[in-house]
Amino acid sequence: MIGFIIFVTFIGIITIAFSAIIQKKLADSIILFMGVGIGSVVLFFIFKAPDVALTEAVIGAGISSLIFLMALKHLGEKK
């Protein structure tokens, strides 16, 4: 069972990451990037690395997305 969960989570993360990259709207892409972070948290937790999971939760999914959102606010959608 655990192997299947890993498999599915990986597929989910890859799909989310790819759509985050090719997304036209930056706001959508940042929200999807947050999803990559959350998926990684799940995987780290499955891999018995609770410390890394907690760190990824607060930094990878939390603060990084905040940084991107602030960048979006200052840089704007349009190039």
Instruction: Report, in Å, the least distance between residue 25 CB and other proteins.
Output: 11
CA distance 42 to 62: 14
Find all residues with CB under 8 Å of 38, minimum gap 6, and list them: 57, 61
Residue ranges in 6-45 that form contacts with other proteins under rule CB under 8 A? 6-7, 10-11, 13-14, 17-18, 20-21, 26, 29-30, 33, 36-37, 40, 43-44
DSSP H helical ranges for 1-79: 2-22, 26-46, 50-55, 64-75
Residues that bind other proteins (CB under 8 A): 1-4, 6-7, 10-11, 13-14, 17-18, 20-21, 26, 29-30, 33, 36-37, 40, 43-44, 47-56, 58-60, 62-64, 66-68, 70-76, 79
